[in-house]
Structure 1
């Protein structure tokens, strides 16, 4: 699992400049999902959803604690999680890398072996990493060539990238792969079935990589995203504010090209570490008996829509992500069903022959991986609850159109067939009324079915068709709502 990873950085997803041979090989020998979405484009809620198989509105861990806006920060005691279910079934369960699924509770609280590596970025002062550097006589963390813009108040912007003055062997990514290989060998010798995860902190910004990756891609060869032409006209004002927060307009366009180039280099660094882990799986003779998943928590803007990072904008750049699963005996294939990071939970449990009924918002992807064609939902819902400040949103993505409901301002509707870069909000266009109305009613019914209480706002504010309940929730009205 990676963090903040754009789907278009991989050769398997169409980037002809990508240098991702190991992930491309995994995709070529497994199932590549072309419509794999995150339930929410922010780290902690997405990771809590993976743990539980519950949508964020249900598990209620809704924000990263570093920018928390008053939400719950840890899962309540007794919450169902897949690692504990695997433990109870006799599995070894390990996690190397980024946790970020809670504040007080650590991976060990959910049954994971491995060092607790907290936070949202590489914890380069962690005692286990420092011990690794000392053990291998490697130099400490040091950076130069920082890239950042200027904030609206005149202060220095967030660090976006820097040159790492360490050899590859000293990088946090190499360290995590090494620790994974060590644990893989222990698990292999133990003889018990196992689940082992490597959660890289990258390619989340700031992109901090050694020279060979910082300079790997020529910025002149980078094709800028078409949505860099974003004007924010007809869009929720928060998007323009986020662009200012991420200092996009304070940096020359050449800097944006360089940032994208360094980001691609970061992806290659991670791909090579994944290659080391998969190579060890081969060396141990476990490849033909082991299912391998690759995905991330959410995407990244890297200049798309004049934005960086992620935030209150439900664009494909941050909601559609890579998703690859290779299981023994399953055919290589590409699937176009709408699936989710959430579905990993039930899939992992299904492969382990463990009941997944308590992963209530998760669907097993095993039938799809086997090449079957079961009945499948033709659309997918996304949600967002805030980052830096509360900002609730809901999204319905179907084959051609995307609807985003923003209670504080204008709603959004995009025709992805004619506008794949989501530059033109057609929500108010008169000719789109049939699409807008149909999608609003469909989103309402899905949210109500899940008991996502966001639907209450929609009941009074939009055309959602006839209701079969008292929308005031007073219990005092005898009128029929049929």
Structure 2
């Protein structure tokens, strides 16, 4: 007997996405204070990845990689619009994206919330249903949100109890947190959950009547700073229960000078330890509030009978410092605090597990194509995680690469990481090398340590050849500056010297 349509049609995909979200805020990743029951339940019934990384710890590059399966150097959206210092602001015409491919294959495709992957070409341009929510933060003046407040008799947006430091020039520093004078039901996060559930209901009806599968991304700016939340969550966690991260002991000795400058920009030393603990407590409150909204969405999945044929995915675009290394936000420091994030995938029929392969947000486009039964090849820097989720053990890369191109300023960095070691190449100042087994907080730069020269040089060679294989021209800097092994090309790129590289090699 042939399979029924219900047996052969692809499963739906629902992705829950946060912004600037630390992995160590989730209970399933070891936090025994911060409450994240919804995400913990997804982890307990799906695959939890312990080595999930972002390709770049900046919103726009990371999100563009999510939609294209291209590494940032390849898709060329290298900075957020709001801090862009000259890079392009939209994907080039003709760029492949997974939502448009799903749309062309007959899928419903929707995005609710943060897009932040282009200035002029929005989510609708690439095949997503949904309202346009531009910018990096909650658009509290969005007409539809204002209508939501008015229709429900909710008070307008208003804040008190602002937390901020002092800039080096003596001016008032960036807003880091504040108390929101609205009930939870009036928050932008609650509004986005409502919009997600509305779209889920519409897509579920289409699934029921004509079998049409859907991809739905519910995308939050939370818990990105500033942490602006109502009393219930602002005061949920006691600052006295908060332990500051061990890396708050950072003194920036033997680190790229830009890190110390960035700490001053975020006014870390102008705030007290008491304020730091409260900031972390409020951040955790924000995480719990978003998890509660995710719970409402997951309840709708169950109510609509979608649980058995819908894959659930969770990740964030990158992490957040929140006092780690005496920093806030994200930026020119390739620490695990902002590059290693939570990653959860639950596929119906697959057994729960914890996996430690080095994977990336960049791998999701190929995964989505694989789930949909479509060709993942156009997502050229992406590899499907579906075999891992199914419990298979494919041969996997023991390295993860990441890149940074600037935020507020142009600066180039590349990173390669293994289970034990991390190498960061920073042409503008100082390279970094960390032994994560003995220094998990990345406090001691051992780039010049003779005891680690062997693994450092080996990782340098590996990074060089990986970048060259990718076509990331950052490798040209490394050719002249470091021992990278045998070359098979003219590194001078002159082409005018009688004694070219090739002639020397063959003489």
Aligning the two structures, in what range does the TM-score lie when normalised by the shorter sequence? over 0.9
Other-structure match for 1:296? 316
SS of residue in 2 equivalent to 1:479:
helix
Instruction: Report 1:260-409 matches (<5 A).
Output: 260-409=280-429
- What is the CA distance between 1:475 and its match in structure 2? 3.0
Provide TM-score, normalisation by structure 2: 0.94
Q: Deviations over 1:30-62 (max 9, x none)?
A: 000000000000000000000100000000000
- What is the CA distance between 1:79 and its match in structure 2? 0.3
Instruction: Report 1:1-12 matches (<5 A).
Output: 1-12=17-28
Once residues 466 and 78 of structure 1 are traced to their aligned partners in structure 2, the CA distance between those partners, rounded to angstroms, is: 37
Other-structure match for 1:143? 159
Is 1:232–2:252 an aligned residue pair?
yes
Provide TM-score, normalisation by structure 1: 0.99
Other-structure match for 1:198? 218
Q: Which of these residues, 479, 487, 490, is aligned with residue 459 of structure 1? A: 479
Q: Deviations over 1:259-296 (max 9, x none)?
A: 00000000000000000000000000001100010000
Other-structure match for 1:48? 64
Once residues 383 and 505 of structure 2 are traced to their aligned partners in structure 1, the CA distance between those partners, rounded to angstroms, is: 33
Once residues 393 and 138 of structure 2 are traced to their aligned partners in structure 1, the CA distance between those partners, rounded to angstroms, is: 41
Other-structure match for 2:272? 252
Is 1:188–2:218 an aligned residue pair?
no
5+ residue gaps, structure 1: none
Q: Deviations over 1:360-398 (max 9, x none)?
A: 000000010000000100010010000011110000000
Other-structure match for 2:10? none
SS of residue in 1 equivalent to 2:302:
helix
Once residues 348 and 425 of structure 1 are traced to their aligned partners in structure 2, the CA distance between those partners, rounded to angstroms, is: 38
- What is the CA distance between 1:188 and its match in structure 2? 0.7
Once residues 152 and 206 of structure 2 are traced to their aligned partners in structure 1, the CA distance between those partners, rounded to angstroms, is: 26
CA contact (8 A) 1:469 1:481 kept: no
Is 1:110–2:134 an aligned residue pair?
no
Other-structure match for 1:159? 175
- What is the CA distance between 1:480 and its match in structure 2? 4.4
CA contact (8 A) 1:466 1:481 kept: no
SS of residue in 1 equivalent to 2:442:
coil
- What is the CA distance between 1:167 and its match in structure 2? 0.4
Is 1:75–2:91 an aligned residue pair?
yes
- What is the CA distance between 1:474 and its match in structure 2? 2.5
Once residues 471 and 503 of structure 2 are traced to their aligned partners in structure 1, the CA distance between those partners, rounded to angstroms, is: 23
Is 1:66–2:90 an aligned residue pair?
no
Once residues 316 and 226 of structure 1 are traced to their aligned partners in structure 2, the CA distance between those partners, rounded to angstroms, is: 13
